[in-house]
Amino acid sequence: MDNRFQGRVDSRPVATVDIDEGLRKHMLRVYNYMTLGLGLTGAVAYAVVSVPALRDLFYVMQGNVLVGVKPMAYVAMFAPLAFILVISFGINRMKASTAQLLFWLFAAAMGASLSNILLVYTGVSVARTFFVTAAAFGALSLYGYTTKRDLTAMGKFLFMGMIGLFLAMIVNLFMQAPALQFAISAIGVLIFAGLTAYDTQKIKEMYLEADSSEIAGKKAIMGALKLYLDFILMFQFLLYFMGGRE
């Protein structure tokens, strides 16, 4: 019997095995943070629309119909952006525990910001869109993790597309053009689908076995934040096509 290939797996350098195991733990930590963040967002959104005192703080209702928003709704709308800027620009100066706390506060603020979705769209269509987004996200993130192709060039193209997308969204705030909104939503789905794969690859490449627990914790939070935003934005753009209004 030819024994040339026996023991090949066992003969892998210990360092390589350790790196692979460390990377898997790091990515699992990133996904866990992201998933818990999405869960917190959903819980806060549900609480805002379900608890009358909270709902009245943000929205003007006639029965179960949303007819207007209050100033607190605008505060909730811009609060997540403030958290993103603080985490992104201050991550090197803050402790990992502080970054983690800010991430949870950001996820809660996103819940308040997105709560109007539950008043505008039917629960069934929101749930359907969420599960479609989750399936697409899982497949795209798995591709980004496993592919040998360098996605850097694609990432640069997607980033420029994202800037153009947000400029178009600002323009459409004033134009309110259905055709432009359709194009924005379609392009938005494609951009954040691509960014899901790109960001996953970059999070994987940022992992270093030699990182201290403090640095590794910060990298996990930043990775979770990026993937969380990819998921939420892809979900919102898909909701334009799949959401059934109340």
Over residues 176-212, the pLDDT tens digits come to 899 999 999 999 999 999 999 999 999 999 999 899 9
Cβ contact 112:48 at 8 Å: yes
The alpha helices in the chain, defined as continuous H runs, are: 14-50, 52-58, 71-90, 96-114, 117-120, 123-146, 152-175, 178-206, 213-242
pLDDT at 64: 82
pLDDT at 245: 83
pLDDT at 5: 34
Q: What is the CA radius of gyration of the chain?
A: 21
Residues 121-134, mean pLDDT to the nearest whole number: 96
Task: Dump pLDDT digits (tens) for 132-176.
Answer: 999 999 999 999 999 999 999 999 999 999 999 999 999 998 988
188 burial via Cβ count (<10 Å: 0-12, 13-18, 19+): buried
pLDDT at 19: 59
| Residue 61 in this model has a pLDDT that exceeds 60 | yes
pLDDT at 229: 97
pLDDT at 13: 46
Residue predicted with more confidence, 8 or 51: 51
Residue 6 pLDDT class (50, 70, 90 cuts):
very low
pLDDT at 16: 52
Residue predicted with more confidence, 81 or 176: 81
Residue predicted with more confidence, 16 or 148: 148
Q: List the chain domain ranges.
A: 14-242
Residues 45-61, mean pLDDT to the nearest whole number: 94
Helix axes 96-114, 14-50, angle to 10 degrees: 40
Question: What does 7-52 look like in DSSP terms, one character per residue?
Answer: TTTTTS-HHHHHHHHHHHHHHHHHHHHHHHHHHHHHHHHHHHHHSH
pLDDT at 21: 87
| Residue 7 in this model has a pLDDT that exceeds 60 | no
Residue predicted with more confidence, 5 or 62: 62
| Residue 120 in this model has a pLDDT that exceeds 60 | yes
Place of tokens 């949870």: 104
Chain-wide mean pLDDT for the chain? Answer: 91
pLDDT at 2: 44
